[in-house]
């Protein structure tokens, strides 16, 4: 037997994750009755995964910049998913955490606050868990609450933060403020870069953990080579997950449909499985607020213009999707024709209300960022909301 991790749910011991010859096995503790994930029903005491970590746990881990930093500080191979979770999994997104480990997997000898000791946050973009200090935000220490996520520009693209701030503001104006995660701009001590600060919704006002699962976890999609597994699915599969697991499936399917059309309007081609999640509410699991919204079409050839997941049985370019495609999709996931018409009417009013937010500033040249951003949104709106 390989390494063993103690799995906690909302801070309570729920079971063990055990390395097998090539994969992993999760075992619920005797007497534990609550599901810790949609893909790990407690009615089955053991859940085997043949190769690597089970996706429920694999998708808790980091990607890209933060993963490289974690592996360097912990002196682990960058491919060691299990080891990185043992080292940094005490505070993960959602209610699952890694609370105990085999001897020698965690060390306090090498501490770098910019990799969040003992904490992890998934995603490929440069990001950190942070806390609000007296004069600004600071990287979260190993202990205590970490209620914010700071997202930074990449070395290759200095406009990511500006883009997501503008995209979130526009999306919130179109869909309604409660439909989008709370956010603000700010700086983080020790990091020489402007940041987008996202308020975590997987923690309540008292800092208690809330269950949150993205659709890659719910659908048990492995990360795959180069973390591309989150694109190997369809929006119909996402709708199916919502229909099966939401406490209010009719309402949440309508919210999901509306959100998907908005992503096409804003040119967001990166709405993959990990960007749709179910969040614990008093009534049960519900579609979470929107997050990770970016106008990727503004970057031209540097980003694939293909819609992130298949729609209507095939992959297609975002600029080729027409209103009839969405209408067909809406009917297939159970929406009435009247509800679909009302959605487009509501979105048209929302787009008009949000128009001033993406108006280019006076003096910006025609090839400036906001000019290009607004031109893409206007073009998409003319096609989908005639």
> CB within 8 A of 383, min separation 6: which ones?
319, 322, 323
Residue 53 predicted with pLDDT over 70: yes
Torsion angle (degrees, nearest 10) of CA 26, 6, 209, 213: -20
| Residue 123 banded pLDDT, cuts 50, 70, 90 | confident
Q: Which residue has the higher pLDDT, 314 or 99?
A: 314
Nearest-5° Cα angle at 54, 56 to 311: 65
Those residues whose C-beta lies under 8 Å from the C-beta of residue 112, and which sit 6 or more positions away, are: 69, 73
Confidence band of 266 (pLDDT split at 50, 70, 90): very high
- In terms of average pLDDT, the best of 13-27, 123-137, 138-152, 181-195 is 13-27
Residues 261 and 347: beta-carbon distance below 8 Å: yes
* Domain architecture of the chain: domains with CATH: 1-111 (no CATH), 209-384 (1.10.1070.20)
Q: Please check the confidence at residue 1 and state whether its pLDDT lies above 80.
A: no
Q: What distances in angstroms separate CA 336 from CA 79, 133, 287, one per listed residue? A: 46, 49, 20
- pLDDT at residue 130 above 90? yes
Q: How many residues does the chain have?
A: 386
Q: What percent of the chain lies above the pLDDT cut of 90? A: 79
Reported as a single tens digit per residue, the pLDDT across 337-383 is 999 999 999 999 999 999 999 999 999 999 999 999 999 999 999 99
99, 4 in Cβ contact below 8 A? no
Helix (H, G, I), strand (E, B) or coil at 359: coil
| Alpha-carbon gap, residue 174 to 163, rounded angstroms | 16
Give me the mean pLDDT over the 107-116 stretch.
Answer: 56
Q: How many CB atoms lie within 10 A of CB 257?
A: 21
Which DSSP symbol is given to 360? P
Give dist(CA 170, CA 162) in Å, integer. 12
Q: What is the mean pLDDT of residues 113-133?
A: 81
Q: What are phi and psi of 131, to 5 degrees?
A: -125, 160
pLDDT tens by residue, 149-166 = 999 998 778 899 999 999
Is the pLDDT at 187 greater than 60, yes or no? yes
Residue 216 near residue 222 (C-beta atoms within 8 A): no
Question: How much is the pTM?
Answer: 0.93
């Amino acid at each position: 037997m390989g390494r063993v991790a103690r799995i906690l749910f909302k801070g309570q011991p729920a079971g063990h994750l055990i390395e097998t010859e090539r994969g992993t096995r999760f075992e619920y503790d005797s007497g534990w009755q609550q599901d810790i994930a949609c893909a790990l029903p407690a009615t089955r005491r053991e859940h085997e995964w043949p190769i690597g970590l089970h996706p429920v746990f694999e998708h808790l881990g980091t990607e890209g910049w933060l993963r490289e930093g974690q592996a360097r500080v912990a002196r682990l191979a960058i491919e060691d998913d299990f080891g990185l979770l043992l080292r940094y999994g005490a505070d993960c997104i959602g209610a699952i955490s890694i609370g105990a480990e085999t001897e020698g997997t965690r060390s306090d000898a090498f501490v770098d606050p910019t990799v969040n000791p003992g904490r992890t946050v998934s995603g490929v973009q440069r990001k950190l868990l942070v806390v609000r200090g007296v004069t600004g935000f600071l990287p979260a220490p190993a202990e205590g609450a970490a209620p914010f996520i700071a997202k930074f520009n990449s070395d290759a693209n200095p406009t990511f933060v500006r883009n997501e701030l503008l995209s979130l503001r526009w999306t919130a104006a179109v869909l309604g403020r409660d439909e989008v995660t709370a956010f603000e701009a700010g700086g983080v001590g020790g990091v020489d870069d402007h940041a987008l600060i996202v308020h975590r919704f997987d923690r309540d006002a008292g800092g208690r953990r809330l269950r949150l699962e993205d659709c890659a976890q719910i659908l048990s999609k492995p990360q795959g080579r180069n973390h591309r597994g989150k694109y190997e699915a369809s929006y119909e599969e996402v709708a199916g997950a919502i229909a099966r697991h939401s406490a209010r499936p009719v309402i949440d399917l309508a919210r999901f449909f509306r959100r998907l059309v908005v992503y096409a309007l804003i040119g967001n081609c990166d709405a993959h499985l990990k960007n749709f999640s179910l969040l614990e509410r008093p009534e049960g699991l519900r579609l979470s607020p929107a997050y990770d919204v970016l106008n990727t079409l503004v970057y031209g050839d540097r980003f694939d213009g293909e819609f992130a997941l298949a729609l209507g049985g095939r992959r297609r370019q975002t600029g080729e999707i027409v209103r009839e495609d969405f209408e067909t999709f809406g009917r297939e996931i159970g929406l009435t024709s009247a509800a679909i018409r009302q959605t487009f009417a509501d979105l048209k009013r929302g787009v008009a209300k949000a128009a001033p937010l993406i108006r280019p500033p006076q003096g910006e040249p025609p090839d400036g960022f906001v000019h290009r951003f607004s031109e893409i949104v206007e073009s998409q709106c003319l096609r989908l909301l005639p």
